[in-house]
């Protein structure tokens, strides 16, 4: 039986041919191909011309692998073995049909090559994307800086104007300008956030904070905003949530504000509900669920997936204002907070956005007593006012700071137009605090800060330093910290924040006689 099988297999795959030195066919079993006796084998296929060298060089045994032949329109892949016959005048050819085998190998190789090519292409594309992305991020940082600088004087002088005697009508117009400028700042912040998130530079900073106060403040703000729009506002804060939690309240705040702003924007009747709950008690880490529900215009089912894409606004909704960046940031921030953002919405009925963040429960649930001694402006007048030195090169910004300080009245302000001048002034006059713009000609703010910290005069080297800049990137903030600066404020200047920071630094400086790090401790 085996003999039959073997014979059958050999018949289907192998052909024996014998040729003489003239390459004429002496014999052939014609198992695969019809090759006539006495014909020249090169007539059957020109490949066989190669056999002459075998006779010439007397190669006793030879193999030609994977010879491709087209016979009667069909493609074959054949291995050909040759033996020189007895007497040396004939050549035995064993033709082995390996078409299926070679086709499979060929296919595998083809797939492999394609995958290598595809891999290279995708690497190339990734590199290009990375280059584009980093270009985009740098471009955004620069544009944002360039826009922030003039915006700084616009926002600043609006608050100066607000405190002058102007008519009711002028004040109304001023408020419109103020709101629009604030919107512009928000868009710039959003753009910077998106590029920071993309560049992986936005991380979560966990700190202990008064959670209940944080949520209650938010609710209070939106209670007023909804009242203004004649909408109802329901607020629920579960009593099971402890007062002091550990988490990134800035990022959580950003998510909630975006959701509440949208709810407000897209709701015209009914109201908004903001609830903060937990499903667990008495644990070291608890899940806190934030939910914003509105009875607004809702989102069509088929559009629910696309609302998280950057610059996506559902058509005809442009009239509501906004840039279409809010939800994209919300989605990326909730991802960073290791939370899932859920949306339920029925067109014409309303929407519910919710997310759950795990937060640590602080060991210490007691409120620290903050010795908030409000500086009495009157006491400080008459030569007692702390003296502040500002390094700032741009004239409108100098003017703005002069006005803000003059209006505030608690400090005296000197201005130097670059870092070198700052150092000169510090050598000549006593100061209590230094504010430095980071980008200045001759000597920039970072170099000036380093020089101050390296000063041999202890009164100078320990001065509190505030960076005041239009640059908002994390690198710049890290660089400022590295240079020994104690606080980082961004333009447009928020006058309240500026003066409260000065106040805080001055009281720490006086109390401890040394400069403290500004960043709060992580728990
Ligand atoms: P925008 O700046 O346009 O508000 P967002 O990214 O915040 O951008 O939202 C994207 C789109 O999702 C909005 O343009 C709006 O069409 C839709 N949307 C978001 N929140 C709501 C909501 N609470 N109710 C109805 N539609 C919403």
**pTM of the predicted model as reported, rounded to 2 decimal places:** 0.55
Inter-residue contact 195 to 208 (CB < 8 Å): no
Distance 255 CA to ligand 1 centre (A): 13
**Same domain for 348 and 212:** yes
**Same domain for 469 and 398:** yes
Residue 124 resides in a domain: no
- Give the pLDDT score at 139: 80
**Same domain for 211 and 357:** yes
DSSP 453: H
> Beta-strand (E) ranges in 200-328?
207-210, 232-237, 244-247, 271-278, 285-294
Task: Please report, for residues 277, 420, 484, 488, the alpha-carbon distance to residue 450 in angstroms, rounded to integers and kept in the order given.
Answer: 47, 12, 7, 15
Residue 121 resides in a domain: no
Residue 12 belongs to domain with CATH number: 3.30.450.20
Torsion angle of the four alpha carbons 32, 34, 37, 41, in this order, in degrees rounded to the nearest 10:
-80
* Nearest-angstrom CA–CA distance, 129 and 402: 46
The pair of structure tokens assigned to 142 is: 């620069």
Residue 57 resides in a domain: yes
- Give the pLDDT score at 152: 81
**Same domain for 218 and 152:** no
Distance 266 CA to ligand 1 centre (A): 7
**Same domain for 271 and 335:** yes
Query: Looking at 319, 336, 361, which one is the last position of a domain?
Result: 361
Residue 159 resides in a domain: yes
Nearest atom of ligand 1 to the alpha carbon of 328: 6
In this structure, the residue with its CA closest to atom 25 of ligand 1 is 298
Alpha-helical segments (H) within 163-210? 168-198
Distance 298 CA to ligand 1 centre (A): 9
**Same domain for 350 and 401:** no
- Give the pLDDT score at 255: 92
Nearest atom of ligand 1 to the alpha carbon of 353: 23
* Nearest-angstrom CA–CA distance, 68 and 77: 5
Distance 324 CA to ligand 1 centre (A): 7
Distance 258 CA to ligand 1 centre (A): 9
- Give the pLDDT score at 184: 80
Query: Looking at 327, 361, 395, which one is the last position of a domain?
Result: 361
Residue 157 belongs to domain with CATH number: 1.10.287.130
**Same domain for 79 and 170:** no
Alpha-helical segments (H) within 199-270? 211-228, 249-265
In this structure, the residue with its CA closest to atom 16 of ligand 1 is 314
Inter-residue contact 36 to 25 (CB < 8 Å): yes
Ligand 1 pocket test, candidate residues 189, 222, 262, most atoms within 8 A of CB: 262
| Residues across the chain | 523
Residue 244 belongs to domain with CATH number: 3.30.565.10
Terminal-residue alpha carbon distance, the chain: 83
Nearest atom of ligand 1 to the alpha carbon of 294: 23
275 forms beta bridges with 236, 291
- Concatenating the DSSP letter of every residue in 78-121 gives EEEEEEEPGGGSEEEEEEEE-HHHHHHHHHHHHHHHHHHHHHHH
Q: Which residue has the tokens 């991380």?
A: 203
Who lines ligand 1 at CB under 6 A? 262-263, 266, 294, 296-299, 307, 312-314, 317, 322-328, 351
**Same domain for 97 and 41:** yes
Residue 287 resides in a domain: yes
Residue 274 resides in a domain: yes
Q: Which residue has the tokens 């001055």?
A: 506
- Give the pLDDT score at 321: 54
Residues spanned by the domain of 405: 377-522
Residue 399 belongs to domain with CATH number: 3.40.50.2300
- Give the pLDDT score at 322: 56
Nearest atom of ligand 1 to the alpha carbon of 313: 14
* Phi (first) and psi of residue 126, to 5 degrees: -60, -45
Residue 486 resides in a domain: yes
- Give the pLDDT score at 127: 84
In this structure, the residue with its CA closest to atom 3 of ligand 1 is 324
Torsion angle of the four alpha carbons 497, 198, 326, 302, in this order, in degrees rounded to the nearest 10:
-170
Distance 305 CA to ligand 1 centre (A): 12
**Same domain for 243 and 189:** no
Distance 350 CA to ligand 1 centre (A): 12
Burial class (CB in 10 A: 0-12, 13-18, 19+), 363: exposed
In this structure, the residue with its CA closest to atom 11 of ligand 1 is 313
Average pLDDT, 10 consecutive residues per value, the chain (523 residues): 86 93 93 92 89 86 88 89 90 93 84 80 82 77 80 83 83 81 78 74 82 90 88 94 91 91 93 94 88 95 81 54 72 90 94 95 73 45 76 86 86 90 89 90 90 86 89 81 89 85 82 41 33
Q: What is the pLDDT of residues 472-488, one digit of tens each?
A: 777 788 888 888 899 99
Comparing C-alpha atoms, which of 434, 404, 430, 409 is closest to residue 497? Answer: 404
Torsion angle of the four alpha carbons 447, 451, 452, 454, in this order, in degrees rounded to the nearest 10:
140
* Nearest-angstrom CA–CA distance, 338 and 359: 11
433 forms beta bridges with 388
DSSP 21: T
**Same domain for 259 and 142:** no
Residue 118 resides in a domain: no
The pair of structure tokens assigned to 321 is: 């204002």
- Give the pLDDT score at 369: 56
**Same domain for 458 and 333:** no
- Give the pLDDT score at 266: 92
DSSP 24: B
**Same domain for 286 and 226:** yes
Q: How many domains does the chain have?
A: 4
Ligand 1 pocket test, candidate residues 307, 319, 344, 352, most atoms within 8 A of CB: 307
The pair of structure tokens assigned to 80 is: 């050909």
- Give the pLDDT score at 470: 83
Neighbour count for residue 520 (Cβ, 10 Å)? 10
* Nearest-angstrom CA–CA distance, 24 and 45: 13
103 forms beta bridges with none
Distance 172 CA to ligand 1 centre (A): 28
Query: Looking at 149, 179, 199, which one is the last position of a domain?
Result: 199
* Helix, coil or strand: residue 308: helix
């Amino acid at each position: 039986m085996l003999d039959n099988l073997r014979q059958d297999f050999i018949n289907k795959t192998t052909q024996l041919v014998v040729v003489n030195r003239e390459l004429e066919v002496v014999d052939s079993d014609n198992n695969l191909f019809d090759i006539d006796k006495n014909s020249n084998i090169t007539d059957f296929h020109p490949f066989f011309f190669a056999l002459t060298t075998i006779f010439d060089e007397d190669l006793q045994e030879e193999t030609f692998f994977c010879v491709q032949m087209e016979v009667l329109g069909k493609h074959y892949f054949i291995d050909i073995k040759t033996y020189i016959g007895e007497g040396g005048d004939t050549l035995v050819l064993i033709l082995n049909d390996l078409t299926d085998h070679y086709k499979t190998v060929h296919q595998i190789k083809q797939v492999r090559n394609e995958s290598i090519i595809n891999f290279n292409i995708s690497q190339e594309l990734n590199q290009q994307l990375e280059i584009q992305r980093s270009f985009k991020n740098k471009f955004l940082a620069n544009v944002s800086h360039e826009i922030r600088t003039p915006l700084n004087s616009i926002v600043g002088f609006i608050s100066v104007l607000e405190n002058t005697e102007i008519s009711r009508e002028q004040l109304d117009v001023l408020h419109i300008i103020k709101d629009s400028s604030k919107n512009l700042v928000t868009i710039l912040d959003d753009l910077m956030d998106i590029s920071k998130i993309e560049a992986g530079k936005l991380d979560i900073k966990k700190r202990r904070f008064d959670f209940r106060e944080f949520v209650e403040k938010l609710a209070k703000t939106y209670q007023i905003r909804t009242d203004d729009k004649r909408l109802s506002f329901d607020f629920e804060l579960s009593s099971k949530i402890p007062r002091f939690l550990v988490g990134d309240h800035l990022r959580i705040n950003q998510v909630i504000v975006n959701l509440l702003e949208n709810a407000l924007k897209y709701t015209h009747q009914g109201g908004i509900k903001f609830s903060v709950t937990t499903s667990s008690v008495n644990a070291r880490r608890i899940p806190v669920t934030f939910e914003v529900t509105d009875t607004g215009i809702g989102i069509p089912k088929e559009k629910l997936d696309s609302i998280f894409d950057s610059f996506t606004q559902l058509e005809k909704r442009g009239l509501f204002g906004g840039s279409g960046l809010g939800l994209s940031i919300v989605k990326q921030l909730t991802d960073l907070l290791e939370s899932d953002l859920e949306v339920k919405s029925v067109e014409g009925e309303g929407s519910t956005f919710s997310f759950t963040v795990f937060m640590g429960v602080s060991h210490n649930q007691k409120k620290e007593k903050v010795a908030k001694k409000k500086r009495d402006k009157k006491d400080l007048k008459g030569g007692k006012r702390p003296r502040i030195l500002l390094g700032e090169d741009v004239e409108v910004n100098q003017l703005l700071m002069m006005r803000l300080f003059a209006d505030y009245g608690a400090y005296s302000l000197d201005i130097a137009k670059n870092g070198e001048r700052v150092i000169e002034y510090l050598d000549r006059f006593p100061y209590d605090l230094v504010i430095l713009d980071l980008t200045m000609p001759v000597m920039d703010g970072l170099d000036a800060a380093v020089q101050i910290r390296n000063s041999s005069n202890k009164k100078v080297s320990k001065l509190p330093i505030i960076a005041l800049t239009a640059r908002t990137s994390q690198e710049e903030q890290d660089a400022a910290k590295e240079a020994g600066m104690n606080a980082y404020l961004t333009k447009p200047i928020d006058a309240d924040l500026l003066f409260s920071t000065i106040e805080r630094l001055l009281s720490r400086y006086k109390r401890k006689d040394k400069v403290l790090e500004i960043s709060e401790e992580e728990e």
